[in-house]
Amino acid sequence: MNVTVSVNGVEYTRDVEPRLLLVHFLRDVLRLTGTHWGCDTSNCGTCVVLMDGEPVKSCTMLAATAERYEITTVEGLERDGVLDPVQQGFHEEHGLQCGFCTPGMMLTARALLDHNPDPTDEEIRVAISGQICRCTGYATIVRSIRWAANNSGTA
């Protein structure tokens, strides 16, 4: 079937199988490999992208169902060579180790800050609670998101 999906502000029309998952459409068809694929059960949150600004787990969503939405991947966060404050925060506060969960964490953080520009550390922890990081212990991730909240006008 033909599917037209808007990803990072660009419309893509591709012929795909109706059962193709959004994560595979992004990675394998569009070659946007920043979206990671972890568990296929929506437990890890590695595959999170934004759909009209809301975090969704792309491993349990069909590409065809994304047709009427704007999808944002981690590649879509930076603008004109300038990192999004969330990306800069992860750099400044060392919010990653292996980096596997990082794209999903960043997109979840972006959605949080879009809805709540000054969240508490507890609100940050609740927002990222649907994602698993096996490396950091979350302290640096929370600090990274806090940095982004505090520096949203400077990055």
- Residue ending a domain, choose from 41, 76, 111: 76
| Tens digit of each residue's pLDDT, the chain (155 residues) | 999 999 999 999 999 999 999 999 999 999 999 999 888 678 888 999 999 999 999 999 999 999 989 999 999 999 999 999 999 999 999 998 888 899 999 999 999 999 999 999 999 999 999 888 888 889 999 999 999 999 986 44
**pTM of structure:** 0.92
* pLDDT at residue 153, rounded to an integer: 66
45 found inside a domain: yes
Identify the CA nearest to 55 among candidates 130, 121, 143, 132.
Answer: 130
- Whether 91 contacts 83, CB under 8 Å: yes
Same-domain status, 65 and 93: no
Residue 39 lies in a domain: yes
Structural domain boundaries, residue 48: 2-76
Instruction: Give yes or no: residues 31 and 14 share one domain.
Output: yes
Q: What is the CATH number of the domain that holds 118?
A: 1.10.150.120
Answer yes or no: do 28 and 67 share one domain.
Answer: yes
Same domain, 96 and 66: no
Domain count, the chain: 2
CATH number of the domain to which 40 belongs:
3.10.20.30
Boundary-marking domain end, from 76, 103, 123: 76
In this structure, the number of other CB atoms found within 10 A of the CB of residue 139 comes to 12
By the 10 Å C-beta count (0-12 exposed, 13-18 middle, 19+ buried), 137 is classed as exposed
The last residue of a domain, from among 76, 93, 128: 76
Q: What is the pLDDT of residue 41?
A: 77
pLDDT at 155: 41
Provide the pLDDT for residue 133: 87
Residues 50 and 90 in one domain: no
Sign of CA dihedral 37, 22, 144, 44: negative
- Distance between CA atoms of 109 and 130, rounded to whole angstroms? 12
Q: Are both 127 and 105 inside the same structural domain?
A: yes
Confirm if 113 and 84 have CB atoms less than 8 A apart: no
Instruction: For tokens 């507890």, name the residue.
Output: 122
Q: DSSP assignment, residue 128?
A: T
Domain membership flag for residue 155: no
Helices and strands, counts by H and E, the chain: 5, 5
Between CA 100 and CA 46 the distance in angstroms is: 7
